Chain A
Amino acid sequence: MAAAGGKTYSFKVVLLGEGCVGKTSLVLRYCENKFNDKHITTLQASFLTKKLNITGKRVNLAIWDTAGQERFHALGPIYYRDSNGAILVYDVTDEDSFQKVKNWVKELRKMLGNEICLCIVGNKIDLDKERHVSVEEAEGYAESVGAKHYHTSAKLNKGIEELFLDLCKRMMETAQVEERSRGNGASNTSTGRRGVQIVDDEPQTAIPAGGCCTSA
């Protein structure tokens, strides 16, 4: 899951949202900087990775696209298991897609608690004239559930870099908090599965003050 010795972080981010809200365009714009381009070279846009360097720390981002059709909704838990962040996309011209996002938020909070960083993204702001979800409503809702809200346009390449950069920073913070609470030592390379078990065994006193990973 997260972090190897404070040097490289690996994060899993799931993309959730109804079909046709532009999840794929969003991620293709971010990773390939292309939109509806005939020259897109990748074979697929469902699993993409991006390497980042944030404040001197390397981050490997794995972006998991999910099938947005209603009939696959029940499969959500299989996708977002062990993910560090979720990007919930809706179409600003489509009230229904915003309702779907609300459902996702409820489900994610129920299943994963506060460990997961949520981003609510209103896409297609280039179609602002046809907007059906008001800015106030969306931002108010995001705040009420502890998520951040972003406005993006994959077509105009607006707000996407900020979205992912912000999310990465937040996930790093969460990971660091988790490391600190877990205890800082040989075990911080462990995967989630093992990490959970270690929590009980490891004495809290083992934390060296201001260790390599504790500096935020």
Chain B
Amino acid sequence: MSQRSERRGIHVDQSELLCKKGCGYYGNAAWQGLCSKCWREEYQRARQRQIQEDWALAEKLQREEEAAYVSSHSSSQTQPPQSHSQPSLATFSKFEEKKTNEKTRKVTTVKKFFSPSSRTAPKKESHEGKTPSPSITRQSSIETDRASQDFLEFLKTLQKPGREIQKQSRAFIDSMGNKKDLGAEELSECVQDFYQGMSDRLLNHYKGSSEKVDRVMDQVEKYIMTRLYKSVFCPETSDDEKKDLATQRRIRALHWVTIQMLCVPVDEEIPEVSDSVVKAITDVIEMDSKRVPRDKLAFITSCSKHIFNAIRVTKNEPASADDFLPTLIYIVLKANPPRLQSNIQYITRFCNPSRLMTGEDGYYFTNLCCAVAFIEKLDAHSLNLSPEDFERYMSGQASPQRQDDPAAWLQSGSRFNPALSQIHQNLSVLSNLEKRQQQVIEGAQSLQTELAEWQDSVAHEVQEIMERYPLEIKSRASAIDAENVENDRLPPPLQPQVFAG
């Protein structure tokens, strides 16, 4: 009885508590009156429908965009026309989200076309560049195929464990396909867990030596990261791209920083040194073109080696960190590598941690991180400048080189910048040429006047002579031989003789 009255007190009936579907279980207001089981079914169905709709919409959008891109090359401005035909208000927010996603994706690709990497790595980018818009077809590219092939070849040498490794890697890649909505950190977590599980298994189950396991793990990393690269590099869920742009802008704003301000111990006047500097710059830029974290690391290492060479040639002693870090900072400032933050984040998230923590590659990578952190936080104090000067340089009101008179600037400029010295040289050659041309023109003019004078003088002379010796015409004899006085003495002309025959 008391129970009943209690129930009546809050106006809840037994039937109201039950699942609306009538399955006999209790329902819950939070699940719209359904029990947990029915709710899940219902929800899954609705969600599935939603996903399908979104997919259809996204595909339609993509097709339209591709068409728009092909027809007019001004891609991103063209608004897809079906933005008016939104299916319903309920899906509107989702739709908007999709659209922005599409847009950002497009921005990255457009950027990709123009990023320096397309110049430095023409082989790979050109093949990517053929598809005019970000389409899924790109995922199965030559590169991923080759990676799969290499991986299979490698696994063949391992026999039984190889098959298992392949099965697990394949399964993992498939499972990652369903996790596209996860944040970058969760994705990283998944991949790191996979590495961990795999290497543990290899060590304990198959009793591999640690060197061998390392080798296998390198191959596993290469395989899965080549496959996953597109979906996990600079993902839309992270703000990597924003950071990339911020860093790029920052480095551009710092274009005036000189070797002296950073106390970089390299002398670019020496040809071998400037050669190494150029190679280091190329390597750090080319890092972006690789897919596998380890390959990216290899480029950082190679860049560092070139830096060490430059320092070694300049100072004639092995480089310490005191020399190396400023030089690396200088190289990063000079190179302004594309998608630097994305690359760093990508390596941090998806590289096999054993490489990153203690290895030599890890050391250089850490230094690169330091260089970027330094560039981000750099201020007047860290360049030994007064805050006023720093402000003026940053705002572009003044340039550190142009304080002195232009001649001194040119001279000092040429000392630490080979390009400037080249310009300087070219300028002097040009002015020399100009001078010579002037001389030629003057010579030609004087020649012309001389010629004119000569003509005049000749005419004058002729005139004079003509006046002095006027033309006299004598009366002529009638016959040709008239003047020939001794005509009679000449023998008679020969007559033809006829012989009788």
Q: CB distance B363 to A64 under 8 Å?
A: yes
Q: How far is the CB of B312 from chain A (nearest CB, A)?
A: 6
Which residues of chain B come closer than 8 Å to A38, judged between CB atoms?
316
Binds A, one of B81-89, B163-171, B249-257, B318-326: B318-326
Given A43-B308, A193-B192, 7 more pairs with CB closer than 8 A: A24-B318, A45-B319, A47-B360, A62-B359, A75-B373, A189-B200, A191-B357
**B residues within 8 Å of A by Cβ?**
192-193, 196, 199-200, 203-204, 210, 263, 305, 308-309, 311-312, 316-322, 324-326, 353-354, 357-360, 363-364, 366, 369-370, 373-374, 377, 381-382
Which residues of chain A come closer than 8 Å to B381, judged between CB atoms?
71
Q: How far is the CB of A109 from chain B (nearest CB, A)?
A: 21
Q: CB distance B357 to A1 under 8 Å?
A: yes
Q: CB distance B200 to A187 under 8 Å?
A: yes
Q: How far, in whole Å, are A45 and B308 apart by their CA atoms in the complex?
A: 9
Q: CB distance B370 to A24 under 8 Å?
A: no
Q: CB distance A191 to B196 under 8 Å?
A: yes
Q: Does A215 contact B (CB under 8 A)?
A: no
Chain A: interface size category: 35 or more
Which residues of chain B come closer than 8 Å to A66, judged between CB atoms?
321
Given contacts A8-B210, A74-B377, A75-B370, contact A40 B204 (CB under 8 A): no
Given contacts A10-B358, A12-B357, A46-B324, contact A72 B370 (CB under 8 A): yes
User: Which A1-35 residues have C-beta < 8 A from chain B?
Assistant: 1, 4-5, 8, 10-12, 15, 19, 23-24, 28
Majority-rule SS of B interface residues: helix
Q: How far, in whole Å, are A192 and B193 apart by their CA atoms in the complex?
A: 13
Which residues of chain B come closer than 8 Å to A67, judged between CB atoms?
321-322, 324-326, 370
Instruction: Across the interface, name the chain B residue whose C-beta is closest to A18.
Output: B322
Q: Does A186 contact B (CB under 8 A)?
A: yes
Chain B CB within 10 Å, residue with most, of A4, A44, A65, A186: A44
Given contacts A8-B210, A10-B358, A194-B196, contact A42 B203 (CB under 8 A): no
Q: Does A49 contact B (CB under 8 A)?
A: yes
A-B contact pairs, 26 of them (CB 8 A): A1-B357, A4-B203, A12-B358, A24-B318, A24-B321, A42-B318, A43-B308, A44-B320, A46-B320, A46-B363, A60-B358, A62-B358, A65-B321, A67-B325, A71-B381, A72-B325, A72-B370, A74-B373, A78-B366, A78-B370, A79-B370, A82-B358, A187-B200, A191-B354, A191-B357, A192-B357
Q: How far is the CB of A9 from chain B (nearest CB, A)?
A: 11
Which residues of chain B come closer than 8 Å to A15, judged between CB atoms?
321
Q: How far, in whole Å, are A34 and B321 apart by their CA atoms in the complex?
A: 18
Q: How far, in whole Å, are A5 and B308 apart by their CA atoms in the complex?
A: 36
Which residues of chain A come closer than 8 Å to B210, judged between CB atoms?
4, 8
Q: How far, in whole Å, are A65 and B367 apart by their CA atoms in the complex?
A: 10
Q: How far is the CB of A133 from chain B (nearest CB, A)?
A: 21
Q: Does A68 contact B (CB under 8 A)?
A: yes
Q: How far, in whole Å, are A47 and B196 apart by their CA atoms in the complex?
A: 26
Given contacts A78-B369, A79-B366, contact A191 B326 (CB under 8 A): no
Q: CB distance A190 to B196 under 8 Å?
A: yes
Q: Does A69 contact B (CB under 8 A)?
A: yes
Q: How far is the CB of B114 from chain A (nearest CB, A)?
A: 31
Q: How far, in whole Å, are A49 and B358 apart by their CA atoms in the complex?
A: 10
Q: How far, in whole Å, are A179 and B320 apart by their CA atoms in the complex?
A: 34
Which residues of chain A come closer than 8 Å to B317, judged between CB atoms?
40
Which residues of chain A come closer than 8 Å to B309, judged between CB atoms?
43
Q: How far is the CB of B120 from chain A (nearest CB, A)?
A: 25
Q: CB distance B357 to A194 under 8 Å?
A: no
- Can you list the 3 inter-chain pairs with the closest CB atoms, starting with the nearest? A24-B320, A65-B321, A67-B325
Given contacts A43-B318, A46-B320, A71-B381, contact A82 B199 (CB under 8 A): no
Q: CB distance A191 to B308 under 8 Å?
A: no
Q: CB distance B353 to A191 under 8 Å?
A: yes
Instruction: Across the interface, name the chain B residue whose C-beta is closest to A38.
Output: B316
Which residues of chain A come closer than 8 Å to B364, judged between CB atoms?
47
Which residues of chain A come closer than 8 Å to B326, judged between CB atoms?
67, 69
Which residues of chain B come closer than 8 Å to A64, judged between CB atoms?
321, 363, 366
Q: How far, in whole Å, are A47 and B370 apart by their CA atoms in the complex?
A: 15
Q: CB distance B200 to A186 under 8 Å?
A: yes
Q: How far is the CB of A51 from chain B (nearest CB, A)?
A: 13
User: Interface readout for A154-167 with B: 1 if CB under 8 Å, 0 if not?
Assistant: 00000000000000
Given contacts A12-B358, A71-B382, A191-B354, contact A43 B200 (CB under 8 A): no
Q: How far is the CB of B295 from chain A (nearest CB, A)?
A: 20
Which residues of chain A come closer than 8 Å to B321, judged between CB atoms?
15, 23-24, 46, 64-68
Given contacts A71-B381, A75-B370, A190-B196, contact A82 B320 (CB under 8 A): no
Q: How far, in whole Å, are A190 and B192 apart by their CA atoms in the complex?
A: 11
Q: CB distance A193 to B353 under 8 Å?
A: yes
Q: How far, in whole Å, are A68 and B370 apart by their CA atoms in the complex?
A: 13
Given contacts A12-B358, A43-B305, A62-B363, contact A78 B318 (CB under 8 A): no
Q: How far, in whole Å, are A38 and B196 apart by their CA atoms in the complex?
A: 45
Which residues of chain B come closer than 8 Å to A8, judged between CB atoms?
210
Which residues of chain A come closer than 8 Å to B325, judged between CB atoms?
67, 72, 75
Instruction: Across the interface, name the chain B residue whose C-beta is closest to A74.
Output: B377
Q: How far is the CB of A142 from chain B (nearest CB, A)?
A: 24
Which residues of chain A come closer than 8 Å to B316, judged between CB atoms?
38
Q: How far, in whole Å, are A65 and B323 apart by their CA atoms in the complex?
A: 11
Q: How far, in whole Å, are A74 and B320 apart by their CA atoms in the complex?
A: 18
Q: How far is the CB of B375 from chain A (nearest CB, A)?
A: 11
Contact among A12, A44, A75, A78 with B324 in the assembled complex (CB-CB below 8 Å) = A44
Q: How far is the CB of B162 from chain A (nearest CB, A)?
A: 21
Given contacts A67-B325, A75-B373, A191-B357, contact A47 B363 (CB under 8 A): yes
Q: CB distance B324 to A82 under 8 Å?
A: no
Q: How far, in whole Å, are A95 and B317 apart by their CA atoms in the complex?
A: 27
Q: CB distance A68 to B357 under 8 Å?
A: no
Q: How far is the CB of A4 from chain B (nearest CB, A)?
A: 5
Which residues of chain B come closer than 8 Å to A47, judged between CB atoms?
360, 363-364
Which residues of chain B come closer than 8 Å to A190, judged between CB atoms?
196, 200
Which residues of chain B come closer than 8 Å to A5, judged between CB atoms?
203
Instruction: Across the interface, name the chain A residue whose C-beta is closest to B320.
Output: A24
Which residues of chain A come closer than 8 Å to B308, judged between CB atoms?
43-44
Q: How far, in whole Å, are A47 and B318 apart by their CA atoms in the complex?
A: 11
Which residues of chain B come closer than 8 Å to A10, judged between CB atoms?
358
Q: How far is the CB of B227 from chain A (nearest CB, A)?
A: 23
Chain B CB within 10 Å, residue with most, of A23, A60, A64, A190: A64
